Chain A
Amino acid sequence: MSTFATQFLKQARAMTADLRHRRIIRTALGNYEIARDQGRSSFQDWESARQLAAEMKWEAVNHLDSYLEAFTAKIEARGTKVHWASTGEQAREIILQIVRDKEARSIIKSKAMTAEEIHLNDALENAGLNVVENDLGEFIVQLRHEAPYHIVFPSMHLTRCEISDLFQRELGSAPTNDPEELTMIARRVLRKKYLTADIGITGANFAIAETGMISITENEGNARLTAALPKTMITLMGIEKVLPKLEDLALFLPMLATMGTGQPLTCYNTMYGGPRQAGESDGPEEWHVVLLDNHRTELLAEAEQRDALHCIRCGACLNVCPIFRNVGGHTYGTTYSGPIGSVITPHLRGLQDWKHLSNASSLCGACTETCPVKIDLHHHLLQNRRNASAAQPSFFERLAYKIFGFIASRPTLWSIAKTLGRWGQPFQNLVKGSALDPAKAWTQTRDLPPLAAESFKDWWRNRK
């Protein structure tokens, strides 16, 4: 078992027993569920909207080369500098180089999961720079020196009291349990940062091939300010974010909001097509767009699982997942958690190290049912399991199935095994779950129902 798997099992066991954590998550998601359901039902036909969105993403991802060409040609024509990075390390180096060229000291960053993926903040901090996350949830988890708990709600695992304690300790603010006052404390701290930052870093939710724009979805206005005030703007995005046409956003913006937060549309949905243009009064003088591969082309090469690149990072599959809701976001130990994280992490970080995530699923299919772009999530979990065991078969598992197959296909042996099983079961109960039990991993948390005193075959034969 990989060390990641051991860690996952250990933490999952602790978290599922943590009733306080489960209560916080259940409450946080309760309101979301009501709003999301209302939002979906306001569509004239949600299922058709999903199918259309899936087809648009299919078109984009399956012609990624031509849409990326169009996107970069258009955006470069407006004075944007486009950079290409095959790996996370290259992307970090590109961004560090821009920062060094600008002799920048302070950086503000609006929420970007791609930056989490390549551990950008660590790289910038190690280079002696001051980076401040300006999405409220990200700001909170940054102060706690921990990773975001959820791709859309980074601080959903924390109560207002914990946040108040954190602000008192880190910002020297007065104690308060009022979410509004806590938000205003963060607002005041971050206002100063916006006004003095040399560089603003953002992510991107979509890129538009037709017009050469990126689109950012947010609620707080933090990305708007990040793209308005600093002299230099850097946008880090995965290569799979491209959509063919500007009007495609008419579908994707409301879908992302409905499934992400349960809003009909989030507060700010903004398209950027270049740095400050001639005659414009504000905005960055320079804009750098960094296109990140980081194993995405490997996932693209897996035709069977290619649709995992359709993901719009709405987090809806996390919210419905019984595993996520019980083990919590940090247990995964990955940038992307929940069903989509379990599907793509093995591709981003190695199948054998991360295959355990695909096993941590009841295959209930709630994720697949809810995904707005119809990613076949739970089938991909099965495919990961299949691929992992084909690449590195387990000797004992194969032996066990061979023996089972041998016995099950021979009626006499089968009937002897049944009788032995019936006699042997009471003895198994004596060692159940202990070190002496060969099936300990399974029986520790599960009961085997008693074998019937009479088999169906015997009953059929003896019936009057």
Chain B
Amino acid sequence: MSERELIMGRIRAALKTRARQPGGHKPASTKVANSTPRQWLPKVGDGIDEQLALFARNVAGLKADFQLFQSVEEMRQALVQMSDTEGWKRLAGHSGDLTNAICQALKLPLLRTDKAYAVNELEQCDAGISECDALVAQTGSVLVTNRSAGGRALSVLPPHHVVLARRGQLVPDLPAAFELLKRKYADNYPSMISFITGPSRTGDIERILVLGAHGPKKLTIFCLQD
């Protein structure tokens, strides 16, 4: 017999005895029966404006940068200004509606990561610019997949990750983000899906927060008011 059959056999034999219902020694409340996580997770407020405000608050708390723009032109100017201030020399990005419209304005060498690329070159880039699948108001997260955001490494290897998004991509909470993934990808999921919640961080030295442990030190979210 294979190890798989042996382990499965032990599991089936073990499960012949029923375990007590969960909830420990105390009688469980019955109100969770047929409930969904959304009912118990933190509140997100009603309407897109309230949720957008919540998203902005959460992002600020995470020490990331969030800016809202009225037009593609405004967004382009802001990025050019950021590039000048930080002295970017090389950029990485992928092809997409927003990235195509914005990145050309920077007039910098651009490494495309949605096609075969050299990792060492990506490591030399000053910023990675990507789109995303959704913004999550409840947690201030950016939802990316390797299909929508230029592969697995673009959003973690360069020291600055810039996300270009549209206001319509805001979803209220985590359950809505998973609903969106199911709707969008059905049974053909990208091989990587990631909720990015603020710039990379660690507290492993005396529990003191330090940004940029292995991933980006900076996370910027540019959002188009469409």
Q: What residues make up the interface of A, taking CB atoms closer than 8 Å to B?
A: 27-28, 31-32, 42-49, 51-52, 54-55, 57-58, 61-65, 68-69, 78, 84-86, 90, 134-137, 140, 153-156, 158-160, 163, 179-180, 182-184, 187, 190-191, 194-195, 211, 213, 219-222, 224-225, 227-229, 239, 246-251, 253-254, 261, 263-277, 280-283, 291, 293, 297-298, 300-301, 303-304, 306-307, 310, 368, 373-376, 379
Known: A48-B40, A160-B205, A229-B119. A220 touches B215 (CB 8 A): yes
Other-chain residue from A44, A45, A224 in contact with B215 (beta carbon distance below 8 A): A224
Docked complex: B94-143 residues within 8 A CB-CB of A: 113-117, 119-120, 123, 139-141
Q: Who on chain A is nearest to B115 by CB?
A: A281
Task: Please state if A136 and B32 are interface contacts (CB–CB under 8 Å).
Answer: no
Docked complex: B47-63 residues within 8 A CB-CB of A: 58
Docked complex: B13-55 residues within 8 A CB-CB of A: 13-15, 17-25, 28-29, 31-32, 35, 37-43
Other-chain residue from A58, A84, A155, A263 in contact with B204 (beta carbon distance below 8 A): A155
CB distance from B91 to the nearest CB of A (A): 16
Q: Who on chain B is nearest to A86 by CB?
A: B3
Q: Which residues of the other chain, A, contact B177 by a CB distance below 8 angstroms? A: 250
CA–CA, A239 to B15, complex, Å? Answer: 14
Task: Please state if A221 and B213 are interface contacts (CB–CB under 8 Å).
Answer: yes
Known: A44-B40, A58-B19, A224-B152. A281 touches B197 (CB 8 A): no
CA–CA, A51 to B115, complex, Å? Answer: 46
Q: A160-B205, A368-B24 are in contact. List 6 more A-B contacts (CB 8 A).
A: A43-B40, A46-B40, A224-B194, A251-B37, A267-B215, A271-B193
Known: A221-B213, A225-B156, A249-B178. A179 touches B39 (CB 8 A): no
Report, nearest first, the 10 A-B pairs whose CB atoms are least far apart: A221-B215, A220-B213, A228-B152, A251-B37, A137-B204, A301-B14, A297-B10, A54-B22, A49-B40, A250-B174
Residue pairs across A and B with Cβ atoms less than 8 A apart, 24 shown, are A31-B207, A43-B42, A44-B40, A46-B40, A49-B37, A55-B22, A78-B191, A84-B6, A134-B214, A136-B205, A195-B123, A220-B214, A228-B151, A246-B182, A250-B173, A266-B197, A267-B199, A269-B194, A272-B191, A273-B192, A297-B11, A297-B14, A301-B10, A376-B25
Interface string of B73-108 (1 = CB under 8 A from A): 000000000000000000000000000000000000
CA–CA, A63 to B16, complex, Å? Answer: 10
Known: A65-B8, A247-B179, A250-B41. A267 touches B15 (CB 8 A): no
Docked complex: B136-169 residues within 8 A CB-CB of A: 139-141, 146-147, 150-153, 155-157
CB distance from A120 to the nearest CB of B (A): 18
Task: Please state if A48 and B210 are interface contacts (CB–CB under 8 Å).
Answer: no
Q: Who on chain B is nearest to A55 by CB?
A: B22
CA–CA, A263 to B41, complex, Å? Answer: 14
CB distance from A72 to the nearest CB of B (A): 8
Q: Total interface residues on B, using CB and 8 Å?
A: 88
CB distance from B66 to the nearest CB of A (A): 16
Q: Which residues of the other chain, B, contact A28 by a CB distance below 8 angstroms? A: 206-207
CA–CA, A43 to B204, complex, Å? Answer: 26
